[in-house]
Amino acid sequence: MTATTDLIVCTRELLLHLNQGLPEHEREAYIKKTDNLLDQRFILMRQVDFQSTEAQKMKDVLLKQDRAIKQLLDQHQQIIKDDIKRLKVQKVKSKQYANPYEAVGMSDGVFYDKRN
């Protein structure tokens, strides 16, 4: 196989992997596989001579697939950001539930009125 063919195969494999969606469980393995596929694709892209006629023919297909990959990666990134934000809020809420009087201005049993 040529480098261009390898690149197309790797890109398709990455697209299929990303189209499976981000799983609720086993995310670390999913992200690790995605990272490995992206690394392989990066190496193959450096090996391809885009001046050749074979690469020129496949250029449009690769660009279209690249846009789809970027969109899926952005969606996965947003999902992960939302989950991190939700976990931070959940952590704060559980801390407030465990100690509800922590936010009140009390020191050594003395209540300080903040209006004066």
Q: Rounded to an integer, what distance in angstroms lies between the CA atom of residue 19 and that of residue 39?
A: 18
Q: Rounded to an integer, what distance in angstroms lies between the CA atom of residue 65 and that of residue 57?
A: 14
Amino acid symbol at 48: V
Mean pLDDT of the chain: 86
- In terms of Cβ atoms closer than 10 Å to its own Cβ (0-12, 13-18, 19+), residue 7 is buried
For the whole model, what pTM was predicted?
Answer: 0.74
- Res. 55: pLDDT tops 80: no
Q: Which of 36-50, 53-67, 101-115 has the lowest mean pLDDT?
A: 101-115
- Res. 68: pLDDT tops 60: yes
Structure-token pair, residue 93: 């809420």
61 band by pLDDT with thresholds 50, 70 and 90:
confident
E strand intervals along the chain: 106-107, 110-111
